[in-house]
Structure 1
Amino acid sequence: MPIVFFILIILLILIILLYNHLIHLRNNVHQARSVIDVYLQQRFDLIPNLVEVTKEYSHYESSVLEHITELRTSFQKDKNIEACKELNSQYFNLIALVEDNPNLKASEQFINLQKSLVKVESELQAARRLYNNNVTKFNTQITIFPNNLLARLFHFQEFSLFSLDGEKEVNIKF
């Protein structure tokens, strides 16, 4: 009888350790996602400045600029990847407009904004890599045996990798 009790105690300890490990990995994913949200917010906070500077030098359709503002507001409310994808698409259109306007490139205000955008984009790419790395580790751990048994028991779900369909790598050089 004592040997059965000892085996049960060891098994319980292993389950607790494994469960805590999965919780740790899941928390890493959540933390990495929040870092992405911070950098996206920084990027989106720069968008109104970019829109204002662009308005001064261009006759870009106001409906597009209004759409960007609406998407930014939508993302701030929902924080979902779909809103982010649409906003990124419009953001890259705005960047293309800026690249085509030589007068805008010479503006001191724009040059400072450009430096901020380059820094935020670099940090955002690093945050995405960290998030995807953490997601891959977590997803691997909840799908391998015997972890998958415990993961199923405690309803751990796989996370999706952060990818923006159709997004090209950002190379802001103006």
Structure 2
Amino acid sequence: METDLISTASLIVVNVSNCRLARLSPARRGQSGFIYYCDYAAATAPATDPEEAYYARLNQLTSIQISSLTASITVGSARGTVVSASFPSFTSGILRGVANNEVSWTILSGGSMNTMDEISDDHQQRFTSELLMPFKTSIFTGIQVRSASVSGNATDTSLAGTGTILYQVLPGGW
């Protein structure tokens, strides 16, 4: 049980400045992807027990204001319309939640990381999910949402929709 807790908690214990975005390009099929990871080799170990550090950080999160960022799609937008919203000025944050309402997806832009599952690039969804993922605004500059229709086909115009994320600005030293 303790090992599961530590591996789950490691993203919140490691300093966010050690997080990296890497592009993965497999040898076949010409497709590529991205991975966002924390470089543990570059991180300094917590001065205390890692489990203690995890709970101390979780406790600290309870006193940090939760902010939101929303991008909205207008009803009748063309298929494939993407709308962006930028983060205000800060260095490191932690995602706490995401909500897709009548959009295909909500991604962190800049590094283009999807925040939850999607049906397709054109099909609407109404999902909400809690997250606990640190990020740097030097990699992820804001969010983007993509228009969607109920049918998810290439001919229908879009519904009005929004993608919203909840985040907290992290203090220095995280």
Q: TM-score range by the shorter chain?
A: under 0.3
Give the structure with the higher percent strand: 2
TM-score, with structure 2 as normaliser: 0.25
TM-score, normalization: structure 1?
Answer: 0.25
Structure with the larger helix share: 1
Could you say which structure has the greater relative contact order, defined with CA pairs below 8 angstroms and 6 or more residues apart?
A: 1
Larger of the two Rg values belongs to structure: 1
